[in-house]
């Protein structure tokens, strides 16, 4: 049997097993006993509702992951990639255009399959638990905007990579790495200035106590802020959040309107202090560096598998091509990508603890951040007791009880 096919199928089955096991352990970890830290925040009915939400999402994830696995196995074993490739080659386009169409057809196929699940999650699960505020019109417009961005940015990036590997031979991976590294650096400014405003309305925060305290915090910790905006997150969901975006002096704070509605000024300032902590600890820079290093490793390994006939045989392909090499290598690379995600999540959880510690130190107390974390968790019906395997596999943030304990252990 083809060695590459064995590796790919083994990796797909291992990933499915690990995440299925973690979901099962999460369900077994559900406790009717409310943790002491959340007594007075969750009523018995609301806590039961949060567990129902966890169970519903977990069962739905079982379904979607099973369907995904079945479909990719069918596609591989029936040689559907080859069928698409042969069909597109018959049009007689250049390898560049054929490659773009190849990925476009596969994306469209994947989107047709995934959209019913997305609709079910948004308009049934999220709706039933009181989170969904998305209208069918907003959902459709969002999808059309996403298509536009994918064609524009994704198509441009893919076209560059194809050109590099067609034109520069053994050194192509270096050019591709350099180009993707530039895009990684530009991603935040591009998101801040172009992408985010396409999906949400950003209104400058009104003058008042909250704005004054945010500015005072920024001045105290020497953190330049160009804009403080309120984002209309309630257009799509009642869940609350906040984020920073931008690099250099062009930093923007975006507060969900739902967050402002449900939290006190001191809680909001503590939450923002946590986000400032990420920048002051250079977590964003470290993340970009990690992304650049991982991209370089991936492209170098890809260069070793371009037009590899044995790899193409695993997918029943009649013709070798650079564009199909990109896809097949990405599937073959999935075990390494899975391992890197575990490492990335572990580093991210460490960074969250560090940002919490920064917030407590800069504010002078952790009580408001703890209060904010509790309210956020209750608002979003967060899982208080995820299994350790789930945390290890999936969590970029530590469980809320771990964060509260760490803040408490720092003392007053």
Helix (H, G, I), strand (E, B) or coil at 263: coil
CA distances from 21 to 25, 343, 389 (A): 6, 19, 8
**Helix-strand-coil split of the chain, %, nearest 5:** 75, 5, 20
Residues 6+ apart with CB under 8 A from 16: 65, 66, 69
**Catalytic, out of 26, 85, 352, 356:** 356
Helix (H, G, I), strand (E, B) or coil at 48: helix
Strands 252-256 and 227-231: parallel
Which residues is 132 bridged to in the sheet?
Answer: 237
**Catalytic, out of 26, 126, 267, 275:** 275
- Separation CA 358–CA 363 (nearest Å): 8
356 is catalytic: yes
- Separation CA 309–CA 15 (nearest Å): 26
Q: What is the separation of C-alpha 296 from the centre of its chain, rounded to a whole number of angstroms?
A: 21
Residue positions annotated with a catalytic role = 275, 356
């Amino acid at each position: 049997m083809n060695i590459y096919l064995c590796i790919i199928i083994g990796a797909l089955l291992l990933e499915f097993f690990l995440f299925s096991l973690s979901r099962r352990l999460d369900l077994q970890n559900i406790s009717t006993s409310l943790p002491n830290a959340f007594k007075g925040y969750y009523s018995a009915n609301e806590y039961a509702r949060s567990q129902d939400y966890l169970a519903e999402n977990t069962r739905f994830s079982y379904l979607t992951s099973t369907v995904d696995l079945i479909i990719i196995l069918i596609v591989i074993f029936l040689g559907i990639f080859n069928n698409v490739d042969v069909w597109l080659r018959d049009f007689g386009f250049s390898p560049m255009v054929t490659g773009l169409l190849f990925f476009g057809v596969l994306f469209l196929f994947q989107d047709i399959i995934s959209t019913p699940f997305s609709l079910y999650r948004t308009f049934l699960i999220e709706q039933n638990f009181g989170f969904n505020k998305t209208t069918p019109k907003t959902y459709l417009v969002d999808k059309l905007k996403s298509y536009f961005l994918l064609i524009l940015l994704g198509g441009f990036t893919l076209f560059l990579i194809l050109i590099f590997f067609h034109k520069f031979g053994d050194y192509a991976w270096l050019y591709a790495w350099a180009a993707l590294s530039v895009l990684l650096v530009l991603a935040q400014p591009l998101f801040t200035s172009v992408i985010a405003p396409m999906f949400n309305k950003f209104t400058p925060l009104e003058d008042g106590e909250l704005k004054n305290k945010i500015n005072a915090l920024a001045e105290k910790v020497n953190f330049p802020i160009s804009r403080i905006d309120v984002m209309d997150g309630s257009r799509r969901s009642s869940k609350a959040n906040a984020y920073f975006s931008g690099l250099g002096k062009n930093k923007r704070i975006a507060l969900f309107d739902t967050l402002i509605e449900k939290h006190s000024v001191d809680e909001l300032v503590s939450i923002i202090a946590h986000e400032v902590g990420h920048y002051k600890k250079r977590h964003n820079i470290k993340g970009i560096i990690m992304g650049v290093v991982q991209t370089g490793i991936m492209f170098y390994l890809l260069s070793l598998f371009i037009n590899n006939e044995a790899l193409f045989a695993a997918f029943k392909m009649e013709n070798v091509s650079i564009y199909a090499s990109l896809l097949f290598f990405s599937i073959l690379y999935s075990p390494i990508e899975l391992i890197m995600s575990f490492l990335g999540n572990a580093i991210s959880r460490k960074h969250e603890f560090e940002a919490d510690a920064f917030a407590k130190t800069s504010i002078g107390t952790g009580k408001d951040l703890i209060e904010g974390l509790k309210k956020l968790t209750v608002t979003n019906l967060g899982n208080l007791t995820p299994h350790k395997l789930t945390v290890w596999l999936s969590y970029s943030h530590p469980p809320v009880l771990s964060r509260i304990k760490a803040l408490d252990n720092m003392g007053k």
